[in-house]
Chain A
Amino acid sequence: MRLIAEALTSTRGGRSLFSDLSFSVEGGEALVLMGPNGAGKTTLIRIVAGLLAPSAGAVRLDGGDAERSVGEQCHYVGHLNALKAGLTVEENAGFWCRFLDQGGAADRVEAALLAFGLAELGDIPAAYLSAGQKRRLGLARLLLAERPVWLLDEPTVSLDQAAQEMLAAAAGAHLAAGGLVVAATHVPLGFARARELHLGSRAVTA
């Protein structure tokens, strides 16, 4: 499986973020997007997820499910955690599991919460979680449904050391199973087989 971006160009608010950007990521490989604030990391990830249309260029997934768009084969974890404050940790996770995974295995929720150290918080409304715990629950979505491509936008924000290791372990297992990861970050993520892509070197002429 291979994720290919061809000649992507993006203009946001009249400012060119990147132009003619091409890359490819193989199965089992992680692409780490680096660059200063405003370099277009989030924009690039949202383009891959199909949430934004690029000004030019295209993204495709070779060896993926031809019936589904690239976005539908991606897990998108953005800056927001997509949690409902009124629902418990388990209800939040359960909803995303059933919504995203048409098969809907029941023990997935348990396993995902365990992997991110949330197993004991199942009955607690998400409103009472700390920022780091909310982030962990947002990341737990990655394990709730089978998707070949993980798109992570600064996944380590407000995570403690232990939680960062949980994320690295989850991503390691995903990569070992032939999955792909595209992650934007400012800190080392500790992923195996990671390549770096630096954005913003060509941007902004002051």
Chain B
Amino acid sequence: MNAFVELVRRDLLLAWKEGGSIGVALGFYLIVVTLLPLGIGPDLNLLSRIAPGILWVALLLSALLSLGRMFESDLEDGSLEVLATGPLPLPAIAAAKSLANWLTTGVPLTVLSPLLALLLNLEIEAYPALVLGMLVGTPAVSFIGGIGAALTLRARRGGLLLALLMLPLFVPTLIFGIEATRSAMLDSAAFLPSFLILCAISLAALVLAPLAAAAALRFQLQ
């Protein structure tokens, strides 16, 4: 447990010191969401109707940008091999890296979302649903993304491959995330089922994804 916390803490420290990946994800999110209304035009009703979809899709794409780096730097500098001979089993290493990825991309993106929702004229009743949904939905993105990051570790320019591989697995998170926000706009009672399914997806990813990522990592170390 100690080693797990240490690994997460080191990754947070690195993300803070290097700053690049957080900045890229946040910047990309900001750019997509500010450009879209300019392209669509000043129809406020239309914007507020499509706001949940735009926010979620933009969030997913921004998160994808940082996923590819999850294990890459550790492989390049030899840390991954030393981590593998450490006291943590590989699934726990994958889980720690995924958790750190969530803390450094999922959480900042979620925090930025209400601000960007203003630009899209999202109805005020939907804000709690948007933030809550993203908060419980983004762990699934980081943990499932960990599988893709591990699989494409040795592929040169594996970013596109990662996106293609992982896209089908992100679809449920996307659908229920958008549905949770949209239903909160129409009728607050309809929010709960989608939200609970989102929770279930994330919990399943938390448990299962590190095992799959570890299997991929073991193969990559060969």
Name A residues whose Cβ lies closer than 8 Å to a Cβ of B.
49-53, 68, 71-72, 74-76, 78-87, 91, 95-96, 98-100, 102, 104, 138, 141
Chain A residues, CB < 8 A from B7: 99
Q: Are A78 and B78 in contact (CB under 8 A)?
A: yes
Main secondary structure of the interface of A (DSSP, over half): loop
Q: Select B3's contact among A84, A85, A87, A99, beta carbons within 8 Å.
A: A99
Interface positions of B from 1 to 20, Cβ below 8 Å from A: 2-3, 6-7, 10, 13-14, 17-18
Q: Are B6 and A72 in contact (CB under 8 A)?
A: no
Chain B residues, CB < 8 A from A87: 10, 13-14, 17
Closest Cβ of chain A: how far from B137's Cβ, in Å?
30
Q: Are B78 and A80 in contact (CB under 8 A)?
A: yes
Closest Cβ of chain A: how far from B12's Cβ, in Å?
12
Q: Select B2's contact among A50, A84, A91, A102, beta carbons within 8 Å.
A: A102
Chain B residues, CB < 8 A from A104: 2
Q: How far is the CA of A53 from the CA of B84 in the complex (A)?
A: 14
Q: Are B6 and A95 in contact (CB under 8 A)?
A: yes
Q: Are A72 and B78 in contact (CB under 8 A)?
A: no
Residue of B nearest to A76 (CB): B85
Q: Are A83 and B14 in contact (CB under 8 A)?
A: no
Closest Cβ of chain A: how far from B30's Cβ, in Å?
25
B87 contacts the other chain (Cβ, under 8 Å)? yes
Residue of A nearest to B2 (CB): A102
What 0/1 readout, one digit per residue, does chain B (42-74) give for beta carbons within 8 Å of chain A? 000000000000000000000000000000010
Q: How far is the CA of A103 from the CA of B28 in the complex (A)?
A: 42
Q: Select A102's contact among B77, B84, B87, B221, beta carbons within 8 Å.
A: B87
Some 27 contacts from A to B, beta carbons below 8 A apart, are: A49-B81, A51-B221, A53-B222, A71-B85, A72-B86, A72-B87, A74-B85, A78-B78, A80-B76, A80-B78, A82-B78, A82-B79, A82-B81, A82-B82, A84-B10, A84-B14, A84-B73, A85-B77, A86-B17, A87-B10, A98-B3, A99-B6, A99-B7, A99-B86, A100-B3, A102-B87, A138-B78
Residue of A nearest to B76 (CB): A80
Closest Cβ of chain A: how far from B109's Cβ, in Å?
22
Q: Are A71 and B82 in contact (CB under 8 A)?
A: no
Q: Are A51 and B77 in contact (CB under 8 A)?
A: no
Interface positions of B from 168 to 222, Cβ below 8 Å from A: 221-222
Q: Select B77's contact among A72, A75, A84, A98, beta carbons within 8 Å.
A: A84
Chain B residues, CB < 8 A from A79: 78
**Known pairs A91-B13, A99-B7; A80 contacts B85 (CB<8 A):** no
Closest Cβ of chain A: how far from B221's Cβ, in Å?
5
Chain A residues, CB < 8 A from B3: 98-100, 102
Residue of B nearest to A147 (CB): B85
* With A51-B222, A87-B13 already in contact, 5 other A-B pairs whose C-beta atoms are closer than 8 Å: A76-B82, A80-B77, A87-B10, A99-B87, A141-B82
Q: Select B79's contact among A72, A75, A84, beta carbons within 8 Å.
A: A84
Q: Are B87 and A100 in contact (CB under 8 A)?
A: yes
Q: How far is the CA of A141 from the CA of B77 in the complex (A)?
A: 14
Q: Are A96 and B78 in contact (CB under 8 A)?
A: no
Closest Cβ of chain B: how far from A140's Cβ, in Å?
13
Q: How far is the CA of A87 from the CA of B6 in the complex (A)?
A: 14
Residue of A nearest to B18 (CB): A86
Q: Are A71 and B84 in contact (CB under 8 A)?
A: yes
In the A-B complex, list the 6 residue pairs whose CB atoms are closest, starting with the nearest.
A80-B78, A82-B78, A82-B79, A82-B82, A86-B17, A98-B6
Q: How far is the CA of A52 from the CA of B10 in the complex (A)?
A: 26
Residue of B nearest to A138 (CB): B78
Q: Select A81's contact among B77, B87, B222, beta carbons within 8 Å.
A: B77
Closest Cβ of chain B: how far from A64's Cβ, in Å?
14
Q: Are A81 and B78 in contact (CB under 8 A)?
A: yes
